[in-house]
């Protein structure tokens, strides 16, 4: 397994093609796209890719970020600006080390890239486990989409081909749950909190839920732990009726 590259709402086909070429240069095979502005397939992406798509698995298209990461165990949100969220912050080389270790453990991992102009939304970052920031010149920090993909893929490739796989831990570490289980837990929790009048105003609800998601995503919950938390929600809601 190798890291998956996920482009969220990319605007220009040229950038998708450049990202694909960078992926193929570094031996990556799996690109997913959420809502490409100009649809898919895209002639400009093909032209810019110099034939890279033929070296990769077919690109898959999704409607939402949550759907695109549903089967992923660990997700890195790439962003130029540090955000005010409590998550691990890695640079591209640190992320390469981290993702190789996780893939050796059997985790399916993805790097998320936001739209060219705006970058990832806070909501997409809240769905991620870690933040990946590439150190660049503070006076001119913004990387082109294809360049950002290249640097992440390059660091992975250099490590992947230089180092033998790291020795497996004595006991296999449990995998974090696939993201769809985490989403189902979030949905249930949000509904239960709404019923419990937890949100003082309707406006604060997205922010509060994003903070809770950040908290829980950081814990890298296993499927068993998610089941336990479902039980916790049930039990807490049941207590007044016993």
Report 49-78 residues binding its own copies (CB under 8 A): 50-52, 55
Q: How many CA atoms lie within 13 A of 139 on its CB side?
A: 0
* CA 127 – CA 143 distance, rounded (Å): 23
Q: How far is CA 144 from CA 8, 48, 116, 135, 235, in A?
A: 14, 14, 7, 14, 49
Told to check if 228 binds its own copies by CB under 8 A, we report yes
Using CB under 8 A as the binding rule, the residues of this chain from 94 to 133 that contact its own copies are: 133
The count of other CB atoms within 10 Å of the CB of residue 105 is: 18
Judged by beta carbon, residue 139 or residue 203, the one nearer its own copies is 139
Instruction: Pick the closest to residue 80 from 110, 107, 116 (CA basis).
Output: 116
Judged by beta carbon, residue 161 or residue 202, the one nearer its own copies is 161
| Site size for its own copies (CB under 8 A) | 77
* Among 57, 123, 141, 187, interactor with its own copies by CB under 8 A: 141
Judged by beta carbon, residue 63 or residue 117, the one nearer its own copies is 117
* Among 1, 40, 118, 135, interactor with its own copies by CB under 8 A: 135
* Among 139, 201, 202, 203, interactor with its own copies by CB under 8 A: 139
Told to check if 4 binds its own copies by CB under 8 A, we report no
* Among 44, 193, 223, 230, interactor with its own copies by CB under 8 A: 193
Judged by beta carbon, residue 106 or residue 231, the one nearer its own copies is 231
Instruction: Pick the closest to residue 131 from 163, 94, 158 (CA basis).
Output: 94
Question: Residue 114: helix, strand or coil by DSSP?
Answer: coil
């Amino acid at each position: 397994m190798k890291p998956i590259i996920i482009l969220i709402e990319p605007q220009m086909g040229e950038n998708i093609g450049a990202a694909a070429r960078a992926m193929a240069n570094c031996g990556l095979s799996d690109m997913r796209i959420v809502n490409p502005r100009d649809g898919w397939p895209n002639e400009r992406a093909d032209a810019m890719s110099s034939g890279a798509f033929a070296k990769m698995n077919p690109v898959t298209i999704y409607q939402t970020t949550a759907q695109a990461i549903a089967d992923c165990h660990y997700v890195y949100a790439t962003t130029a600006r540090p955000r005010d969220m409590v998550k691990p912050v890695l640079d591209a080389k640190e992320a390469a080390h981290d993702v190789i270790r996780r893939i050796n453990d059997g985790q399916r991992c993805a790097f998320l890239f936001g739209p060219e102009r705006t970058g990832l939304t806070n909501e997409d970052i809240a769905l991620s486990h870690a933040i990946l920031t590439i150190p660049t010149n503070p006076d001119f920090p913004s990387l082109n989409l294809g360049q950002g993909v290249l640097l992440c893929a390059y660091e992975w490739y250099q490590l992947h081909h230089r180092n033998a796989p790291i020795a497996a831990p004595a006991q296999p570490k449990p995998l974090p749950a696939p993201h769809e289980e985490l989403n189902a837990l979030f949905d249930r929790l949000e509904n239960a909190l709404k019923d419990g009048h937890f949100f003082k105003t309707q406006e604060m609800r997205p922010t509060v839920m994003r903070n809770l998601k950040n908290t829980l995503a950081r814990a890298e919950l296993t499927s068993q732990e998610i089941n336990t938390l479902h039980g916790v929600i049930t039990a807490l809601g049941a207590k007044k009726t016993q």
